[in-house]
Amino acid sequence: MALKINMATSMDPSMSWKKTIQMRIRRRNEKESIPFKALFETHLRLANQIEASRSQNVQLHVQVERLQQENTDLQSKGLSSPGPVENVGKGSAAYRQLEQKCFKLNEELTDVHRKKGENAQQLIDLTALLKTKESELQKNEESLNEALIRVGAYEDEIRNLEMAVLELRKTNEDLRDELQNMTLLCSKNEESLYRLQAENAELVTRVMDEKGRDADILNSTNAIIQEVLNDKMKKALEEAASETPTPMPEPKSSIGEGRKLLRPGSMSASTLSRAPSLPPPVSFVMSVPDKNIAQFEAHDGEVHTVKFCPSGAFFATGGADRKLKLWEFLNNSCQNSAVLFGSNLAVTCIDFDDQENLILGAANDCTIRIWGTHDHRLRQTLTGHSNKVLAAKFLSDPNKFVSGSHDRTLKIWDLRSRACTRTMFAGSMCNDLVTSDGAGTNIISGHVDKKIRFWDARSNARTKEILLNGKVTSLDLSPDRQSLLACTRDDALKIVDLRTNQVITSCSAEGFKVACDYTRAAFSPDGEYVTAGSQDGSIFYWKAKNGEMEKQIKDHKGPVICVSWHPSCRQLISCDRAKNVILWADF
């Protein structure tokens, strides 16, 4: 019978655990010992009686044997002496007396045997009962030991719980104090919040007023610019109408005069209006552009990108001051012809459509903006990327372009619907991209994970990948669209044959170090040279066929970020982190 202990119900809170155990032991004795005390006493008494009966039985056996011996002796005496036999015959009184005595002794012996058997059976029963009780007692002792062990464990647990309660009380007090402090702080913060909200509302109102005034100023400026452009165009048309046709010069004189590619007045309104219909300039490359013919500070911060327009009549720059500027070369200096506003963060990439009607600017504010090249007005602002946009290029359709962002996606946009039409998930941040065909269906992108990825824009499928040795910072296509130039952070330019997708030429030099993750390298328009800027302000030229370094020039005071070739191959424009832009020429 197992001892069951219920600590929650049986323990008197006023008693100690020792008194509780003593009380439980007494209760156990009352249940298991006292009811069997009479049984043990009876068993002891019967055992004593059995022992007395045994001794009495032994005495009776001795007495019976003695009487039998006496009887035998008497019988022998009777047979030996005939006279007295008659006196001890069956009918004599002595014989009857002996016979009765023997009968009584036999009865007593029988009673003794019967009592002995009963006592033996009772002893067997009591022995079995005793063994049962001893077994129960042993089980109860084991249960008691287990209960004592559990009691010890419960006591340890109680002590641990008491310590935990004390810790919780202390923690609770600390939390109450912290809650009071936080409540006070929250009240102060709410007061500050209300005050800041009021200030914010006032600032928003002021900003909106300022924006309204800026918009009015911008509209007035655009109107003035439009009037000036109209006047210039009118004068140019009048001059063109009054000019007399001149004969075409000989090729020799063309070579001599061809050195003046960006000449004064080349950025006039009439030039812009006629630029798309002009034939491409003829290239008479004698050497790489290595003479600094114009150097100026283009922006209020780092100059991130620079690019010639397709006709080469002017170029554009974009910088950390959130502005995109148009420049023309007049009177042996570069003059700012327009400033395009609208970007909220640094401009990172510039591109022109083939007709030079639109100029595209990607920025770190996750947007791409489109301006008009002639009226300089902001046409569209396209949002959809979730991180800065470092690359964007027009497709063959001037109403479509593709962009690559650090949100690990490439997006194709439609200017007519003003929305993203397709999204391609690259899985890595995109630093630059190009289109390898005229239709713009094949897109090549360079990524931070050192891979160049090829895409089919019609199916959004990735067709192949090329792994290089460093992060890809820029891509450029050769004029024949058979080779791809990749600038990587392992301080080398790689030329990839797009027919075999193998690196065929590697261009590097002592002292050449790629400055940042958006350093731009470029093919020359004739495909003979590749060039890139370095960390120390140098510009390096290599031969595209064999990777041999042609020349190193240095006039920049800061790391060179971007270079762009003039379509004639006679000039190069470069920009750096020190706000400067340099126009290079070979004459």
Q: Which of 325, 328, 290, 350 is nearest to 571 (CA)?
A: 290
328-383: pLDDT as tens digits? 988 888 999 999 998 999 999 999 999 999 999 999 999 999 999 999 999 999 99
Say if residues 579 and 318 touch (Cβ distance below 8 Å): no
| High-pLDDT (> 70) share of the chain, % | 86
DSSP assignment of 344-382, as one string? SS-EEEEEE-TTSSEEEEEETTSEEEEEETTT--EEEEE
Rounded CA separation 341/328 (Å): 18
Q: Which two tokens stand for residue 386?
A: 């979730």
27's tokens:
């209760």
Yes or no: say if 343 and 322 are a contact pair by the CB < 8 Å rule: yes
Return the amino acid letter for 173.
E
Contact 446, 491 (CB under 8 A): no
At 17, is the pLDDT very low, low, confident or very high (cuts 50, 70, 90)?
A: confident
pLDDT value of position 162: 92
pLDDT for res 449: 94
Q: What pLDDT does residue 91 have?
A: 56
Residues in the chain: 587
Amino acid at 160: N
Q: What is the pLDDT of residue 587?
A: 76
Which of these ranges, 96-105, 386-395, 557-566, has the smallest mean pLDDT? Answer: 96-105
Q: How big is the CA angle at 336 (ends 331 and 339), to the nearest 5 degrees?
A: 165
Q: Which of these, 398, 291, 303, 418, lies nearest to 355 by C-alpha position?
A: 398
How does 483-497 read in b/e, with b if 16+ C-beta sit within 10 Å? bbbbbbbebbbbbbe
- What is the identity of the amino acid at 53? S
Would you say residue 269 has pLDDT above 60?
A: no
CA distance linking residue 207 with residue 371, whole number of Å: 24
Summary mean pLDDT of the chain: 83
Question: How is residue 57 written in tokens?
Answer: 């039985």
Query: Highest mean pLDDT range out of 97-106, 142-151, 505-514?
Result: 505-514
- Helices and strands in the chain: count of H runs, count of E runs: 7, 28
Alpha-carbon distance of 327 to 305, in angstroms, equals: 13
The pair of three-digit structure tokens given for residue 486, joined into one six-digit string: 């990749």
Q: Report the alpha-carbon distance of residue 403 to residue 382 in Å, rounded.
A: 11
Gap between the Cα atoms of 334 and 316, Å rounded: 11
* 8 A C-beta contact, residue 485 and residue 523: yes
Residue that has been written with the tokens 């959004």 in this structure? 460
Residue with tokens 């033996």: 120
pLDDT at 243: 62
The model's pLDDT over 19-73, given as tens digits with 9 standing for 90+, comes to: 888 888 888 887 777 777 777 788 788 888 888 878 887 887 787 777 777 777 7
H helices present in 243-328, as ranges:
251-257, 269-274
pLDDT band at residue 397 under the 50/70/90 scheme: confident
Tokens coding 82? 């005939």
Mean pLDDT across 447-466: 90
Distance CA 485, CA 503 (A): 10
Cβ–Cβ < 8 Å for 557, 514: no
